[in-house]
Amino acid sequence: MKALICLLLLTTSAGAHDWYPRECCSQKDCRELQDWEVTETNGGYSVASDNSSAIYHTPYAKTRPSQDKKFHKCEGKSTLLCFFAPTGSM
């Protein structure tokens, strides 16, 4: 019985976005994006930076599949570390 309670506590305490890969910043600089924050371009996506007025351009080949059918980005101080898009988006 104790094992079942521990298992339930562990599974319910997991974060909603704990699927971000470690190389994308260990869940520290990642966030869900609204659809209006992403623009599909010729060959990829444009995503606004949170840290400046810069726009990141990421090709389809570097776009990772989102696990919750929403857009997400992981951003460092001046670089887009990872970008996730729903399969078949836009």
The answer to whether residues 19 and 44 touch, using CB atoms and an 8 Å cutoff, is: no
- Coil/strand/helix, residue 8: helix
| Domain-embedded: residue 69 | yes
| Domain-embedded: residue 40 | yes
| Domain-embedded: residue 12 | no
| Domain-embedded: residue 4 | no
| Domain-embedded: residue 15 | no
Task: State the residue range of the domain holding 53.
Answer: 21-85
Least confident of 35-39, 40-44, 72-76, 84-88: 84-88
| Domain-embedded: residue 65 | yes
The 10s digit of each residue's pLDDT in 8-25 is: 333 433 455 678 888 887
pLDDT at position 23 is: 87
| Domain-embedded: residue 77 | yes
The domain total for the chain is 1
